[in-house]
């Protein structure tokens, strides 16, 4: 290090590794590297890390099937092209099903309004109106399926000790 009258500079070495240095800096780091085993080691580690990560990406890509992306995207594009009037029309296309479907819905409504149970659930199981406390953090989440509310809090260090 000292032989080169130059100190180790990991940030500069990193840019050297990425070939992001100008000619002067590049020459300076190259010169320093010749006599600095620790920087040589750091450079080798960067190379190993880079190869390892590149290898990982390659493996992941080779194990992934991309064929459906094109079909899915093009289908969405085609659907997006259809004017809204046609989309609306297609919604009402099976007219003969409308009356039976309506009758079925009416029967369901009548049935549930008579028995009054179960009440259809809308929204999360619990709505949090307010939350105050001597805690270090709180997170409110819902389960994905039936939207059960979960409050997760971390007690303060003081509380933990107590």
Distance CA 160, CA 157 (A): 5
Phi then psi for residue 107, to 5 deg, are -65, -45
Q: Are 15 and 21 in contact (CB under 8 A)?
A: yes
88, 93, 99, 127: which one contacts another protein (CB under 8 A)? 127
Q: Which stretch binds another protein (CB under 8 A): 24-32, 75-83, 85-93, 104-112?
A: 75-83
Q: Which stretch binds another protein (CB under 8 A): 27-35, 89-97, 100-108, 112-120?
A: 112-120
Distance CA 90, CA 157 (A): 60
Distance CA 30, CA 139 (A): 51
What CA dihedral angle connects 121, 126, 130 and 131, to 10 degrees? -160
Any contact of residue 15 with another protein (CB under 8 A)?
yes
Any contact of residue 64 with another protein (CB under 8 A)?
yes
Any contact of residue 111 with another protein (CB under 8 A)?
no
Token digits of residue 78:
């085609």
Site residues for another protein per CB under 8 A: 10-11, 14-15, 18, 20, 45-46, 48-50, 52-54, 56-57, 59-61, 64, 66, 68-70, 72-74, 76-78, 80-81, 113, 116, 118-119, 121, 123, 125-135, 138-139, 141, 143-146, 148-155, 159-160, 162
């Amino acid at each position: 290090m000292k032989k080169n009258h130059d100190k180790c500079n990991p940030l500069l070495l990193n840019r050297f590794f990425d070939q992001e240095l100008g000619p002067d800096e590049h020459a300076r780091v190259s010169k320093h590297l010749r006599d600095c085993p620790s920087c040589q080691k750091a450079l080798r580690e960067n190379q190993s890390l880079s190869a390892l990560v590149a290898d990982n990406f390659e493996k992941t890509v080779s194990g992934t099937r991309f064929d459906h992306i094109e079909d899915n995207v093009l289908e969405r594009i085609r659907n997006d092209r259809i004017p809204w009037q046609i989309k609306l029309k297609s919604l009402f296309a099976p007219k003969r099903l409308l009356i039976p479907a309506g009758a079925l819905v009416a029967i369901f409504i009548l049935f549930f309004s008579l028995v009054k149970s179960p009440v259809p659930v809308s929204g999360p199981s619990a709505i949090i109106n307010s939350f105050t406390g001597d805690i270090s953090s709180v997170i409110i989440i819902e389960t994905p399926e039936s939207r059960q509310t979960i409050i997760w809090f971390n007690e303060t260090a003081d509380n933990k000790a107590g």
